[in-house]
Amino acid sequence: MDHLDFIEAYSIYILREAFNKFDRLVMLWSLGKDSNVMLWLAKKAFFGHIPCPVVFCDTGKKFPDMYSFQKKYTKNWNLNFIRQECPPIEEIDPTLTVSVRSAARKTEALKRLIHELELQAVIVGIRRDEESTRAKERIFSPRGENAEWNFRDQPPEFWDHFMTKLLPGNHIRIHPLLHWTELDIWLYIQRESIPVVPLYFAHNGKRYRSLGDMDITKPVTSNADTIEKIIAELLVTKIAERSGRMMDYETEDAFELLRSAGYM
């Protein structure tokens, strides 16, 4: 097995463990490169079919290319698709910074869905290398009654023994891509010919490395207009993947506070 074979096999193992342990679970689909890889892995894990609902928390502020992608691949991949509308910004804590307040809309939408469907688990496509707070995560990560995450008290996962015991009102976040890197993602997309939103490829000297809402996500300077060029760029760049996310610049602990409150 090469490196991609190994991380693919481990992710498939995690996904199968999740479906074995929980009856009421969903998979989040942000439409980004990571969650597309996660859906692809789920299709491999379950013989071409994803056996749980796929949820898109819609802020109404995504790029047009993202909505076009969602419409096309919901049909092509035969997804059991749930569009969860995010609450209006007026319902979100006004003391938060602009970008954090905007992102918190997705947190609240997910909380409401968890409550409505009485979910036991939510599968999310985050990676440890993407942001320092995410490096504190476990593969099976417990969340409290209000979806809060206690990053100071995480269960051990020795020998791949995952936390599956649920307290009333709690749920588990499951992270099958936690051990992947950004470079791994693109190498796998290249190998498997996984479709992605065109915004990842350079146009007029700019491209997006991370996709979010239009008003809080900016492109980076790049001429990488093919997967091969993106991979070559990642081998030498020192620019952070989330450098285009405005939230990461507002306050030092903005992301940690948001994730502690239930953000993806």
47 phi and psi, to 5 degrees? 60, 45
Tokens 């979010």 correspond to what residue? 212
Per DSSP, the three-state class of 257 is: helix
Model confidence at 149, pLDDT cuts 50, 70, 90, reads: confident
Q: Answer yes or no: are the C-beta atoms of 182 and 241 closer than 8 Å.
A: yes
Considering only CA atoms, give the Rg of the chain.
18
Question: Which whole number is the average pLDDT over 239-260?
Answer: 56
pLDDT at 184 over 90: yes
CA 33, CA 189: separation in Å to the nearest integer? 8
Per DSSP, the three-state class of 85 is: strand
Q: What average pLDDT does the chain have? A: 88
Fold of 3-180+251-260: Rossmann fold (3.40.50)
Question: Which whole number is the average pLDDT over 81-85?
Answer: 96
Q: Answer yes or no: are the C-beta atoms of 239 and 126 closer than 8 Å.
A: no
Percent of the chain with pLDDT over 90: 64
pTM value surpassing 0.75: yes
pLDDT at 62 over 80: yes
Question: Which whole number is the average pLDDT over 12-38?
Answer: 96
pLDDT at 150 over 90: no
Model confidence at 61, pLDDT cuts 50, 70, 90, reads: very high
Check residue 119 and report its DSSP letter.
-
In the chain, domain spans: 3-180+251-260, 198-249
Predicted local confidence at residue 248, as pLDDT: 53
Overall size of the chain counted in residues? 264
Predicted local confidence at residue 246, as pLDDT: 55
Secondary element (H or E) of residue 122? strand 121-123
